Structure 1
Amino acid sequence: MDVGFLFDLRNPEEWKRPWADHYARTLEFCEEADQRGAGGLWFTEHHLFEDGYLPQPLTFAAAAAARTRQVRIGTSVLLPALRKPAQLAEEAAIVDLISGGRLELGLGAGYRVPEYALFDTDFKQRFTRTEESIREVMRLWEEKGITPAPLQDPVPIWGGFYGPRGARIAGRLGIGLLHISHDKFEHYRAGLVEGGHDPAIARVSDLLPIILADDPDAAWPRVAPYLAHQMNSYRQASVEGTGQPKPPLIHPDEFRDRTSNAPWGALRILTPEDAATEIKEMTKGLPVKHLIFWASIAGMPDDLVARNIELVSEKLPPLLRS
């Protein structure tokens, strides 16, 4: 299994950089991760976030692909139900070509009503539309229904699903599951059998709520304000358009007590040694392909981002192999 980084390009008002500078600095971090031997750069999708959460991951993936040479280029995740399948097939194929065949296409159903409204798409049908879209993209590539075709044949596709229903969908489609869970793996494997696929092709990956630091205790008070912003934005956004009341805001001071389940459970700041121990236990017995780590929490300080990238890319892999 390799290690990689997720970039969401958040740029909160409190710490805001000029947008062009922010995108340029992120591309520099992508180059650094590639040079240090990381296995993947992953880009995610959301719409209508005040902090500019990345809305078009394939666009940024193309830029990262052009600036790197070895690292895999992935989405974790892109929302196919918000696009025409032919559009997605074409755009993803171009990223695969620019990268020289390094694309990993992670797809999911999403969870936000306003995003589906923005694209005039039925939120209640998101799982059905997602499965249909994935099937159509695969068909277009297999039958050369778009040009040019991607370099890889096939492009690795991943289902970013966290529930039993989604795990079974990923299995039926014969794609990877972007979720590391022993419980959900059984649903995924059942879906593979249901879809007529050999269970031996099963593969899983996931975003781990972990960043690495030399001194986690010293890093925590610096990361806490950014983590509070990230968690509050997710929590507030998750209820938009549902009629449900907004949850109370989390204050950074709440992270001082890290013995409780929440909000501490949203992130682990660990040394490479402690992370390796936890990851080995979590992944035991599962066919893990990619481990994905946060590159940055909501635009946290550059020195923490750079050290996180260095530790994950260079210090963690030997510990995982030992």
Structure 2
Amino acid sequence: MRQFTAVVNPTAGGSAGVAALIPLARTLRAAGAEVEVEYSRDLDHARELARRSGERGRVVLGVGGDGMAGCVGGALAGTQALLGLVPAGRGNDFARALGLPSDPDRLADILLHGEPKAVDAIAVESAIHHGTAVLGSVYAGVDAVANRHANRSRALPGAAAYYVGGLRAVLSWRPASYRITVDGTPYERRGYTTVVANSAFYGFGRLIAPDARLDDGLLDVVVINHAPKRLFFTVMNELKTGSHIRRPQVEILRGKEVRIEADRDLPYGADGEVDATLPVTARVLPGALTVLY
């Protein structure tokens, strides 16, 4: 019988996390599993708790949204520890890519009886990230600005926060000149954003990289080049279905290592956390993480 440690951050959507965890823990315990709960002070503490629990041979449950999933999962990348996710955030994009249910009984069945599967992760190198591993994507441009606005709008529900944040970001955006180096080959581009995707989803269910796979050892690089803002709003709407990739302004590259630079200080985001600026290098870590899904 698997034994679980749930890592919850009470300062970042913790009430939703606790609400999601209570019925799940009840079902796991009824099946005979032991469930302990650890409350983290911040993301660094959550990483420490995750590593410590993984070293004890426990399944580590990241309880929250993409920030917590990336934090806990990144801490376990490259180890033998098992990761489980309890989707309880506003975006839940990595959980969506895994196909995880929100129903506690169905999720409990996966956590108790599911076969562990290896997925890729992303190592991030920048002025403040030194090999930090994340799970879903690294993105730099108007979407990172929008994400920053959304993170500061805690009073709004998930979809509304991302919509309002996106509107503010696009209206004030001026095109950025990017230098994108993929496996040593440089590309000069001018536009709205560059997204390095391990997962197909980001930004509250937007299908940014429809062909991205979690276990193919490659990163999909989605570049949205310059276009009139009215057309960009159309592209944003097409992200719901992934049809934006048919636009001539949208370019898809693939590789194992991607460096993003720009002509000005631009924020970049990693799994929903936007706390750094370019340049940044993202490198795939093939099969680095074992997940129950």
TM-score of the superposed pair, with normalisation by structure 1: 0.23
- Give the structure with the larger strand fraction: 2
- Give the structure with the larger helix fraction: 1
